[in-house]
Amino acid sequence: MKNLNSVFEAYLIGWGVFFLFYVSIAKRTSDLRAEVERLKNALPRGK
Amino acid sequence: MGKRIVLGAVAILLVIAAAYASFYVAPEERTMGVLQRIFYFHVASAWAGMDAFLLCFIANLLYVWKRDQKYDWLGVSSAEVGLVLTTVVLITGPIWAKPAWGIYWTWDARLTSTFVLWLLYVSYLLLRTLIEEPERRALLSALFGIFAFIDVPLVFFSIRWWRTQHPAPVIMGGPGSGLDPTMNKVFLFSVLAMHVLAAFLIVERYMLEKMRSEVDTLRREAEAQ
Amino acid sequence: MSLLSNTAILLDKELRTEFRSRELLTTTAVFILIVLVLFSFAINPGTEEARQFAPGLLWLAILFASSLMFQSCFLREQTNDTLSSLRLAVSDPFAIFLAKLIANTLFLLLTELMMLPFFAIFYNIPLWSKLPVLILVLFVGSLGISIAGTAISAISAQARMRELLLPLLLLPLLTPVLVVSSLVTASLLDREPIVQWKGIGFLAVFDLIFLTALWLFGEYLLEE
């Protein structure tokens, strides 16, 4: 069972990277949603 | 929306199942022992990453040909996901190499060309941030993507023929190079799982890019008024 | 045939513009000289190992110099706003690229030849007897650099931060040229010189592939 740590490290870091990427997509999406709201509010006022 | 959740759930289940299979189903490799189990994760990510870049290349070609925004969105999404997958390859590679060969990094053809590939697509994404006008950004980045992908085999063979001093490690020879049948099955299953995960991430990223482009149009309209 | 005659006219224009001032040639040559001198401070050039990696340093210097040299390639047209009239004047936009890349190869080769004596002296490498093959290697290598560089400078000229962007896009693309030409040059300048025809052939294949890609996609690079 030598080197088992390295195997776990590899899997955990790998999954961590995928997870972080997914979080970054979700973050960017929610930022965009906020932006849409802001624009919606700004549009009628501009008219 | 529902379909995307299902795809995500399937991807997560498959990735967990692949991890289970590589720990409990695949037999222990004789010389490397438990360490070899990284192989299923590492090489599957590499294959999925390569296919994501292939998809990016196809999307780039289609954009230049058809000039449909959709292909631009697909291009950036698959490039980003491919980059994430190759990042995983570049992280898990050294974790494996250190106990196996005693060094973190060998300038072996596969590892090095993966790194150059990674750099090329970082440049691709960077280029996109530096062009304002959407159509010009789409066209020029598509063209750079085409040049970058054409470069990949040249990078690989130049390093393989002129740079690698040691023969490539046997274990990384891919399927068919002395892999036991069960190992082969587990490996192919891991490849499948990683492709489904990549597909899920590409779809998510694609929807984000689509929304971003819509918001961009909206913003332009708001500013015009 | 209009492609060739167009190219010839444009090439004549490129060469005349450059040889009137010789700005590009002198600055690039001086840049390579500076890099070679700095490299010799960073390593110990008298040693036997230096023979091994000096050719790599030479190619690295050429690569950096080229990424500076190609900056002005399309930028000059853009600041003078001549690109659109140029496009109207030629029947095939590939002629524009062909003229520019031939000019770039020529300029690069000229600066390399100017710098070769300094390289030989600084790093203590006799190269007189191998000059013909060395020039061939320099030619196929520089042609590859110029083809990719001309294409990329057309892209970077249309973006922000273009001075930084050009090397960023170009240098990773040129990895194969750097790897192969350094090794071919190193084995050529070795104590027991070998001419690696396979490497020279590989560089020629690189040139051909990128030339074909430029021929196929070049016109889109210049779209308004």
Q: For residue range C48-82, what is the model confidence (pLDDT) as tens digits? A: 777 788 899 999 999 999 999 998 888 877 777 77
Cβ contact C–B (≥3 pairs, < 8 Å): yes
Q: Tell whether B127 is within 8 A of chain C (Cβ).
A: yes
CA dihedral sign, ordered B6, B8, B12, B15: positive
How many residues does the structure list for chain B? 225
What's the pLDDT score for residue B108? 76
Q: Tell whether C126 is within 8 A of chain B (Cβ).
A: no
Q: Confirm if B49 and B43 have CB atoms less than 8 A apart.
A: no
pLDDT category at C91 given cuts 50, 70, 90 is confident
Mean of the per-residue pLDDT values for chain B?
Answer: 88
Q: Which of A6-20, A30-44, C200-214 has the lowest mean pLDDT?
A: A30-44
CA dihedral sign, ordered A30, A33, A39, A40: negative
Would you state the structure tokens that stand for residue C64, as one six-digit string? Answer: 């950096």
Closest Cα in chain B to A38: B219
Work out the widest C-alpha separation in chain C, in whole angstroms: 56
Task: Select from B131, B139, B159 the Cβ nearest to the Cβ of C223.
Answer: B139
Considering only CB atoms, which chain B residues are within 8 Å of C183?
A: 162-163
Residue C125's region, left for phi above 0, alpha for psi from -120 to 50, else beta, is: beta
Residue B21 neighbours by CB under 8 Å, 6+ apart: B40, B186, B189, B190
Please state the separation of Cα B133 from the chain's center in Å: 27
At C149, give phi and psi (nearest 5°). -65, -40
Q: What average pLDDT does the segment C30-46 reach?
A: 86
pLDDT category at A45 given cuts 50, 70, 90 is low
What's the pLDDT score for residue C128? 84
CA distance B188 to chain A (A): 17
Inter-chain touch B146–C209, beta carbons under 8 Å = no
What's the pLDDT score for residue C14? 84
CB atoms within 10 A of CB B115: 20
Total of domains in chain C = 1
Task: Select from B130, B148, B162 the Cβ nearest to the Cβ of C180.
Answer: B162
CA distance C172 to chain B (A): 6
Residue C162 neighbours by CB under 8 Å, 6+ apart: C71, C75, C156
Total of domains in chain B = 1
What's the pLDDT score for residue B170? 47
What's the pLDDT score for residue C195? 83
Mean of the per-residue pLDDT values for chain A?
Answer: 86
Q: Confirm if C165 and C146 have CB atoms less than 8 A apart.
A: no
What's the pLDDT score for residue B175? 45
Separation CA A28–CA A26 (nearest Å): 6
What's the pLDDT score for residue B107? 75
Work out the widest C-alpha separation in chain A, in whole angstroms: 71
**Global confidence as pTM:** 0.91
Inter-chain touch A32–B45, beta carbons under 8 Å = no
Q: Environment class of residue B20 by beta-carbon count within 10 Å: exposed (0-12), middle (13-18) or buried (19+)?
A: exposed
Q: Which of B162-171, B173-182, C187-196 has the lowest mean pLDDT?
A: B162-171
Separation CA B143–CA B129 (nearest Å): 15
Q: Using alpha carbons, select from C166, C161, C149 the residue that is nearest to residue C210.
A: C149
Q: Confirm if C178 and C63 have CB atoms less than 8 A apart.
A: yes
What 3-state DSSP class applies to B33?
strand
Q: Tell whether B125 is within 8 A of chain C (Cβ).
A: no
What 3-state DSSP class applies to B163?
coil
Percentage of residues of chain C with pLDDT beyond 70: 99
Would you state the structure tokens that stand for residue B177, as one six-digit string? Answer: 């190079």
Inform me whether the pLDDT recorded for C20 exceeds 90: no
Closest Cα in chain B to C148: B147
- List the domain range (segments joined by +) for residue C170: 2-221
Q: Which residue has the higher pLDDT, C86 or A8?
A: A8
Considering only CB atoms, which chain C residues are within 8 Å of B159?
A: 175-176, 179
* C residues 18..77 contacting B (CB < 8 A): none
Inter-chain touch A11–B34, beta carbons under 8 Å = no
- List the domain range (segments joined by +) for residue B6: 2-224
What's the pLDDT score for residue C7? 87
Inter-chain touch B95–A13, beta carbons under 8 Å = yes
Q: Using alpha carbons, select from B51, B21, B49, B23 the residue that is nearest to residue B36.
A: B23
What's the pLDDT score for residue B171? 47
Considering only CB atoms, which chain B residues are within 8 Å of C179?
A: 158-159, 162-163
Q: How many CB pairs under 8 A join B and C?
A: 78
Q: Which residue has the higher pLDDT, B27 or B70?
A: B70
Separation CA B75–CA B54 (nearest Å): 10
Inter-chain touch B132–C148, beta carbons under 8 Å = no
Inform me whether the pLDDT recorded for B225 exceeds 80: no
For residue C1, give Cα distances in angstroms to B25, C52, C92, C211.
Answer: 66, 46, 11, 18
Closest Cα in chain A to B204: A25
What's the pLDDT score for residue C88? 78
Separation CA B129–CA B141 (nearest Å): 10
pLDDT category at B144 given cuts 50, 70, 90 is very high
Considering only CB atoms, which chain B residues are within 8 Å of C202?
A: 157-158, 161
Inter-chain touch A21–B208, beta carbons under 8 Å = no
Inter-chain touch A46–B96, beta carbons under 8 Å = no
Could you report the per-residue pLDDT of C150-174, keeping only the tens digit for each?
A: 999 999 999 998 889 999 999 999 9
Query: Residue holding tokens 């790998």?
Result: A14
Residue B28's region, left for phi above 0, alpha for psi from -120 to 50, else beta, is: beta
Considering only CB atoms, which chain B residues are within 8 Å of A16?
A: none
Considering only CB atoms, which chain B residues are within 8 Å of A7?
A: 34-35, 37-38
CB atoms within 10 A of CB B127: 24
Please state the separation of Cα C6 from the chain's center in Å: 22
Could you report the per-residue pLDDT of B125-134, keeping only the tens digit for each?
A: 999 999 989 9
Inter-chain touch B218–A36, beta carbons under 8 Å = yes
What's the pLDDT score for residue B52? 97
Q: What average pLDDT does the segment B202-208 reach?
A: 96
Q: Confirm if B143 and C155 have CB atoms less than 8 A apart.
A: yes
Separation CA C66–CA B122 (nearest Å): 21
pLDDT category at C46 given cuts 50, 70, 90 is confident
Cβ contact B–A (≥3 pairs, < 8 Å): yes
Closest Cα in chain C to B163: C179
* B residues 158..177 contacting A (CB < 8 A): none
What's the pLDDT score for residue B173? 47
Inform me whether the pLDDT recorded for C44 exceeds 80: no
Q: Which of A24-33, B170-179, C136-145, C214-223 has the lowest mean pLDDT?
A: B170-179
Q: What average pLDDT does the segment C129-149 reach?
A: 94
Inform me whether the pLDDT recorded for C11 exceeds 70: yes
Q: Which of C145, C169, C222 to mutate to test the interface with B (most CBs of B within 10 A)?
A: C169
Inter-chain touch B130–C160, beta carbons under 8 Å = yes
Separation CA B101–CA C73 (nearest Å): 47
Considering only CB atoms, which chain B residues are within 8 Å of A21?
A: 80-81, 84, 201
Mean of the per-residue pLDDT values for chain C?
Answer: 89
